[in-house]
Structure 1
Amino acid sequence: MSQAHKRTTYGLQVLFTVYVYILFKIILFKFGSMDLPFLWQQLQDGPGNVAASLQTGNLIPLATLADTYHHLTTNTVVNFLGNIALFIPYGIFLVLLSPNGKGSGSFTGVILWSFALSAVLECSQAVFYIGTFDVDDLLLNTFGGMLGYMLIRPIMMIYMTGRQGFSVTQK
């Protein structure tokens, strides 16, 4: 692996870490500060918080999406599009950081990892009682990761084809 490739990979890893930090800050803390004593208190109240969060949340797939469709407001559209847009970079990063688009950077990998990260965030909202658990957010976030994959994959294929063609002509 060349020195330039190592620097690029390291740079992508740093950007990915910053992105995940911002993602957690947006989804869990709604752009506010991360108040650790508050989180500790919420965690101690965990079972009660989870029960209350699940009672007020949405456990029925597509229910929130149907409600959004029938009651369009600026807030519901921003929430809908935001849940998708926030995970587009995640799908892109998974492809860029995986060797040859395998493992976590494959289509299946992106779907599974996007769903997993979304589930962690949604469950964290329930455990810490900050926000509401919504199964539709899982679907929208996963779709966002898939869109990221579908946006970057053709570009990667063109790039890899160009590199292979370049290396063949250099031999």
Structure 2
Amino acid sequence: MKGEAMMRNKPKIIEAFIWCIFLLYLVLLFKVVLFKYHGFGIILDVLRHVNLSNLSFRITNSNFIPMETIFYYLGGNQSVEVAKNNLLGNIIAFGPLGFLLPTAISKMNKLKQIFVFSAAFSLILEVIQLITGLGQFDVDDIILNVLGSILGFIIYKILKSIFYKNISVN
């Protein structure tokens, strides 16, 4: 109980630091997901040149079938390196979201909240990729991203219980 009271009454400087880390993570996540092949300078170019006539092509080349891409990679249809980068990359990229979200926003401390937020956030990123052509929509990316967030949240819960246990003992 003593540990929980301490965490609820975080000093403002620690709270600001946590928010800075969280916002920096979100910027880096946008860079990795949306601008992996380009710098942020492409944003204005993309907004000026969004070609909705190519949208039907992008939709046709998107994956809307859950687990299709995951099974494709796991089935050995790509090199182990490519499969590992695509599958683990999505999981690892979203792990910090599951950890940082409840750290920055204490009311976001339930698995269901992390699930819903990460699914919605990931869906938004995938739709942006679909509309802008900055990437390719793949429902399996959403699945892997949510899995990463859940794993990050589990790590958060484990570390939080260890931290509280140590504070209660002292």
Q: How does 1:69-80 map to 2 (within 5 A)?
A: 69-70=74-75, 71-73=77-79, 74-80=81-87
Which residue of structure 2 aligns with residue 11 of structure 1?
A: 17
- What is the RMSD computed on CA atoms of the aligned residues? 2.0
Q: How does 1:119-138 map to 2 (within 5 A)?
A: 119-138=123-142
Please say which of residues 104-113 and 83-92 is displaced more in the overlay.
Answer: 104-113
**Matched letter for residue 53 of structure 1:** R
Cα offsets for 1:1-55 (capped at 9, x unmatched): 8996211111010011111001101111115212133111233x2x334322211
The TM-score, its normalising length taken from structure 1, stands at: 0.85
Q: Do structure 1's residue 58 and structure 2's residue 66 form an aligned pair?
A: no
Asked if the contact 1:114/1:141 (under 8 Å) is kept, the reply is yes
Q: CA deviation at 1:118?
A: 0.7
Report the CA distance shift for 1:4/1:139 in structure 2 as closer, same or farther (over 3 A).
Answer: closer
Q: Do structure 1's residue 146 and structure 2's residue 153 form an aligned pair?
A: no
Q: CA deviation at 1:94?
A: 1.2
Higher relative contact order (CA 8 A, sep 6+): 2
Which residue of structure 2 aligns with residue 98 of structure 1?
A: 105
Q: Percent identity?
A: 26
Q: Do structure 1's residue 88 and structure 2's residue 92 form an aligned pair?
A: no
Q: CA deviation at 1:132?
A: 0.5
Gaps of 5+ in 2: 1-5
Which residue of structure 2 aligns with residue 169 of structure 1?
A: none
**Matched letter for residue 31 of structure 2:** K
Cα offsets for 1:66-106 (capped at 9, x unmatched): 1111114111221111000000000000121232xxx4231
Asked if the contact 1:28/1:131 (under 8 Å) is kept, the reply is yes
CA distance in 1 between partners of 2:168 and 2:105 (Å)? 18
Q: Which has the higher helix share?
A: 1
**Matched letter for residue 89 of structure 2:** G
Q: Which ranges of 4 or more aligned residues in structure 1 deviate by more than 3 Å?
A: 1-4, 161-166
The TM-score, its normalising length taken from structure 2, stands at: 0.86
Gaps of 5+ in 1: 167-171
